[in-house]
Structure 1
Amino acid sequence: MGTGLLLFGSMALFLIIGVPIAFALGAAVWTTIVFSPDFLVTTGIIGQRIFGGLESTSIMAIPFFILAGNLMTKGGISKRLVDFANSIVGGVRGGMALALVLACAFFAALSGSAPATVIAIGSMLYPEMTKMGYPKDRTAGLLVVSGGLGPIIPPSIIMVVYATITGASISEMFTSGMCIGIMIMITLMVVVLLLARKEKWPKAEKRPTLKEFGETFVKAIPAILLPVIILGGIYSGLLTPTESAAVAVVWAFIAGMFIYKEVSVKDLVPIFLDSAKGSAMILFIIATSTAFSWIFAYSGISGHLVHFIVGMNLNKTLFCLVVAIILLIFGTFLEGIATCVLMVPILWPIAAGLGIDAVHFGMIVSISNVVGTMTPPVAVNIFSAASVSKLKMGEIVKGQIPFFIGYIAVFLLVVLVPGFSHIFG
């Protein structure tokens, strides 16, 4: 018990005083080894566990996905996707809000990142929507929740991490994520239509013509081909997820530099630097989380937790519900990747023992961690939307409530009905 308090207490202290998550995890491990009388190992084990946590070829897909997303973001992809989305749904009341949801879904299939989706689509649509008369808080709130499609619709970084830990099939995870992502998208669009009618949101003066639809579709084809390349390579069996991500980088480079011609040679260095920084942050969290998880297991804390949960004699459904609640709580103060690496090695063996499907459990993990991006205090989607909208956190949280309820409704269906994770499988 004392070791557990020292481990989690020191981590909480480091987070409170503003230490970045990756460093807080590593520092908590060091503090526990040095000051706990129960450990006979040296601090040298930290380095071994950190490097051991990165010994996986699947993890190499993460920097490739980030680089491909950055290349497409800088290459004018956001504008083409927004124009295409607007040509599909722009002619009804609340049409721009529908276009926002649809554009976030399209962009999610490129970036795999929730905050990146919020910033890319929000910077394009938020100013225009508020000028048209859309409520500022509702627009920012919709942006926060729609950005949550980023890690659900493949390619998804958190799904790659989960599959690396558990050995689950990445292609099956991506198939399930695509299905559930579409369900969330439809749910959000229904909520938009209801609110648009109730709150009298603006309506476009004219519907987009068939010609305009065709023109925007043609311009968006190079962008739409990117997820086709990624998913097609994986599902066909021709490419591994890592190889598919690398091919996506090549296509993103060709599209941005030679087709859209919005990426120049001088833009490449900043793009590479941003991608390296983003990749390093995620990989560092994975590495230190691995060391943290090892201490968690080595100290016997995880064993006590397992015995406690098993002793509750929960059936599959109740166990999944308890796990969802635990992950939602962790997600309010820990970054999603860190939560996944910390909790999955502890919870997955119990889930497997109960006969829970790896893909179903993976979707619970993935979606619960995305919900954490929308819930304070560690709510990166809200902070991202605030940077775009200049609204206060409280205003955005209030505006997102109807959309958040819709998102949670789909999440509960996934938790309670395993079949939702295998509709196409």
Structure 2
Amino acid sequence: MILTVVLCFFVLLLTGMPIGFILGIAGVVGLYGIGGDYMMVMGAKRFFEGLDLFTFMAMPFFILAGEIMNRSGITVRLIQFAEALVGYLRGGLAQSNMLASVLFAGMTGAAVSDAAAFGNTLVPAMVKKGYNRPFACAVTAAGSIIGPTIPPSNLMVIYGSLMGVSISGLFAAGIIPGLLIAVTCMAMIAAFGRRWKLPKDKRGPSLRHILSSFRSSLLAIIMPVIILGSILAGITTPTEAAAVAVAYALFVGTVIYRNISPKDLLDMLVRTAKITGVVFLIIASASIVGWWMTFNQIPQMIADLFLGISSDPAIITLLILLMLITIGMFMDINAVLIILAPVLVPLTTAIGMDPIHAGIMIILALNISLMTPPVGACLFVLSSVTGEKVEKISVALWPFLLVQLTVLILIAFWSGLTLTIPRYLGF
């Protein structure tokens, strides 16, 4: 019966059916194989229970906060501040792109949102300044995965909720890896800048310009401080902080900047509902598959398979990373996380890896797969908003991909980089 479910899954995947429906159908086929019509009740039960977690409420709030910030002009102000800080460097606008990704990451937690926002704003600006369009798209794609790595992160919410791991602890653990990705990518841009003589701002560094941009973007910069500070200080839960983020962004957009109309708000609510509905359908359907896998002891089989190949923790860690990146190249990463986390976390525990460390490693690997063809979501978003071909973006992206894979290996084998801040905060 296991073979039947696997074949059902991959056949439906090849037809192009949405992953949420594929998981639901495959799960129901598996339940029918266990107990016929009698087990169909379990499918409905798991579909509901898969979403019956309070922490999942944080996701639509963070998505809506990102929509409001994009519409209200907060994103543009962050970009202007980043450009004032590093725009005078060789390749300065590319550096600004990466730095703006760091600033924007502390608000939305979604790579696709970052890619869409900067694809509409920074990529045209970079092309206008003389950058090659595929390179501009590659920089934007590389920076976009900082969003779900630096907290808040929707993937961290899903992982923490499913595996019973502290979401606040995961948020704290993602800070250093996210910053490390930004620093290494900026170093790569600096190397390209000298070699390719990339454009730079002719004005040069200006303290007055920096202070002016800082004042203009202060309300935007305060937002991640409010979100992360309240969570890490234990004042709010991630869900409560997400609601505060929406209220703050809405106040700034409607009262301070005054550029959000009732129609804009309706459009943002509809878009948030659509995005959340897709993610929640995947989570609910994957819950059915997860129960079926647990019933058939598939996680234990996979763990035994890995341990049968080698008992060396380093080899097992590399096999896990290879599996995640390979599968993430072909499937929605939310679905991959929901299906594989219950399988892989017991395996990482068996080799002595801390659950928070394992979570960050898994999430970072899946984030990187957002940039890899053939199903890299960030690639297709950038292609759609800029008109550039996915193939050309992929070629320009390879140097950044190699750098980020190096960071992934470093994070996987050096737990101190991930756990220093959580341990300091008591997680």
- With the length of structure 2 as denominator, give the TM-score of the two structures: 0.95
The reply on whether 1:54 has 2:48 as its aligned counterpart is: no
Q: Find the counterpart in structure 2 of residue 323 from structure 1.
A: 320
Of 214, 224, 237, which residue of structure 1 is paired with 2:211?
214
Of 274, 290, 293, which residue of structure 2 is paired with 1:296?
293
Superposed CA offset, 1:29-70 (max 9, x none): 123334x47768522211111111112111111111111111
The reply on whether 1:354 has 2:351 as its aligned counterpart is: yes
Of 226, 230, 244, which residue of structure 2 is paired with 1:229?
226
Q: Which amino acid aligns with 2:31?
A: I
SS, match of residue 225 in structure 1: helix
Of 25, 31, 34, which residue of structure 2 is paired with 1:33?
31
| Offset at residue 313 of structure 1 (A) | 4.3
Q: Within 5 A, what are the aligned runs for 1:162-311?
A: 162-311=159-308
Q: Is the 8 A contact 1:78 1:124 kept in 2?
A: no
Alignment partners' CA distance in 2, 1:342 and 1:408 = 23
Alignment partners' CA distance in 1, 2:170 and 2:384 = 32
Q: Which amino acid aligns with 1:251?
A: Y
Runs of at least 4 residues off by over 3 Å: 36-41
Q: Find the counterpart in structure 1 of residue 90 from structure 2.
A: 93
| Offset at residue 303 of structure 1 (A) | 2.8
SS, match of residue 377 in structure 1: coil
Superposed CA offset, 1:100-148 (max 9, x none): 1111111121111111101101211111211211111111111111111
| Offset at residue 342 of structure 1 (A) | 0.2
Q: Is the 8 A contact 2:107 2:227 kept in 1?
A: no
Superposed CA offset, 1:198-234 (max 9, x none): 1121122112522221121112111112211111111
CA RMSD of aligned residues (A): 1.5
Q: Find the counterpart in structure 1 of residue 125 from structure 2.
A: 128
| Offset at residue 362 of structure 1 (A) | 0.5
State the number of aligned residues.
422
Unpaired runs of at least 5, structure 2: none
Superposed CA offset, 1:67-93 (max 9, x none): 111111111111101100000000011
Superposed CA offset, 1:232-262 (max 9, x none): 1111111111111111111111011111222
Q: Find the counterpart in structure 2 of residue 12 from structure 1.
A: 10
Of 379, 390, 394, which residue of structure 1 is paired with 2:391?
394
Between 79-88 and 313-322, report the one with greater CA deviation: 313-322
| Offset at residue 316 of structure 1 (A) | 2.7
Residue 392 to residue 362, structure 1, CA distance change in 2 (3 Å): same
Alignment partners' CA distance in 1, 2:116 and 2:237 = 29
Alignment partners' CA distance in 1, 2:53 and 2:273 = 18
Q: Find the counterpart in structure 1 of residue 377 from structure 2.
A: 380
Q: Is the 8 A contact 1:58 1:241 kept in 2?
A: yes
Alignment partners' CA distance in 2, 1:275 and 1:389 = 22
Alignment partners' CA distance in 2, 1:297 and 1:233 = 37
Q: Is the 8 A contact 2:411 2:417 kept in 1?
A: yes
Identity among equivalent pairs (%): 32
Alignment partners' CA distance in 2, 1:349 and 1:41 = 30
Between 64-73 and 306-315, report the one with greater CA deviation: 306-315
Q: Which amino acid aligns with 2:399?
A: P
SS, match of residue 370 in structure 2: helix
Q: Is the 8 A contact 1:317 1:415 kept in 2?
A: no
Q: Is the 8 A contact 1:302 1:346 kept in 2?
A: yes
Q: Is the 8 A contact 1:71 1:253 kept in 2?
A: yes
Residue 264 to residue 198, structure 1, CA distance change in 2 (3 Å): same
Residue 348 to residue 39, structure 1, CA distance change in 2 (3 Å): farther
Of 312, 332, 336, which residue of structure 2 is paired with 1:335?
332
| Offset at residue 377 of structure 1 (A) | 1.7
| Offset at residue 353 of structure 1 (A) | 2.8
Alignment partners' CA distance in 1, 2:203 and 2:196 = 20
Superposed CA offset, 1:277-306 (max 9, x none): 111111111111111111122223333222
Between 361-370 and 201-210, report the one with greater CA deviation: 201-210
Superposed CA offset, 1:335-360 (max 9, x none): 11111110011111222233210111
